[in-house]
Structure 1
Amino acid sequence: MSVQSQTTNLAIRTATEFNVAYTRIKSINDLIGNAGQLTTRATSTLVAALNGLQTDLSALQTAQQNATSISDGTTGGTTTWSSQKTQDMINAAIAALVNGAPTALDTLKELADQLANDQTSLGSILAALDKRVRVDAAQGFTALEQAQGRANIGAYGAGEIGNPDHDFVTDFNNALTQA
């Protein structure tokens, strides 16, 4: 069964359930209460309970906003690093990227010059790069290479997906009128 037919079935089933839920919601609407009653923390109605929840959420939000601070010793959602710690981390990342490379090869320019002077290595690198999926130009892959590429990233082929231009909104609307 294609993704298209599965999605069509989902749209029809969703519309049917939507109609059932809509009917039930209309029947319990009187139990919810009037939004104008949002003045107490009583839980006798849903509106009163929501009012109490809103008060609690506001207090929690205020506490969370006041909890943020600068802390070079920890990383978390309520702390931030100082500018010095940030710069130190950038410098450490650069050092890790260079990773003890000799001075003659520790910049992109130096690496480019070395590759230009060593055509054998450059040819091997270019051949390997040629088998990588490009986003800036069309490529010719065999069917086996295409299938492997899709498997590597968990993608489906056109035959498995169905018609990408199918109008699922029409399916949904048709199902609403038939339920």
Structure 2
Amino acid sequence: MSLASRIESLVIRVAQEFIDVRAKTGNLAQLATTDKSNLVAAINELKYAVTATSGIDDGQVSTSTTYSSSKIVDLLDTLKAEILGGADAAYDTLLEIQELLTSGSTGLDALLAAVNNRVRFDAAQALTSEEQAQVRSNIGAIASSDVGDPETDFSAVFEAALA
């Protein structure tokens, strides 16, 4: 079964669920909100209640409050200091560390060669067909030839399933 066929089956199944959801919107009278006219109104009521609540508490960690922005900045500054651990100013940024590593100094050429022999996601890369097959095998991907018809109109399939 091609990927397109499987997606078509999924779309039909999702459409069946949509039909069921439309039939079962729930009993609005059971909402724990004042406005029970519709779900959007009830959600908006909750949003306004949450927005109106002041939840800043610099004194304790809690799931119902937050720190002030100045407390958050202080914590981030402390974390940065802990991460850097007193590193010399020449090595306290990722760019400086990158420049040190790419200079090939202190025997890091082998490490850089190993890193360069990896699949990139930040730039284009030329791979042989064997390398491509190995990459697909490693990550559980399929070849584009195994996908099926990429021009399948899944919206049309969905609409037909809703009918």
Match of 1:172 among 148, 158, 161: 158
Q: CA deviation at 1:157?
A: 4.1
Structure 1 residues 96 and 120: CA distance shift in structure 2, 3 A:
same
Supply the distance in 1 between the matched residues of 2:158 and 2:142 (Cα, whole angstroms). 24
Contiguous gaps of at least 5 residues in structure 2? 37-41
User: Match for residue 114 of structure 2?
Assistant: 128
Match of 1:85 among 49, 71, 74: 71
Contiguous gaps of at least 5 residues in structure 1? 26-45
Match of 1:99 among 85, 97, 100: 85
Q: Considering only aligned residues, what root-mean-square deviation do their CA atoms show, in Å? A: 4.0
Q: CA deviation at 1:101?
A: 3.7
Report the count of equivalent residues.
149
User: Match for residue 53 of structure 2?
Assistant: 67
Identity %: 29
Supply the distance in 2 between the matched residues of 1:87 and 1:139 (Cα, whole angstroms). 43
Residue 145 (str. 1) matches residue 135 (str. 2): yes
Q: Is the 8 A contact 2:33 2:45 kept in 1?
A: no
Structure 1 residues 107 and 129: CA distance shift in structure 2, 3 A:
same
Structure 1 residues 63 and 162: CA distance shift in structure 2, 3 A:
same
Instruction: Give the number of the structure whose alpha-carbon radius of gyration is greater.
Output: 1
Q: Is the 8 A contact 2:136 2:143 kept in 1?
A: no
Residue 8 (str. 1) matches residue 8 (str. 2): yes
Q: TM-score, normalised by structure 2?
A: 0.61
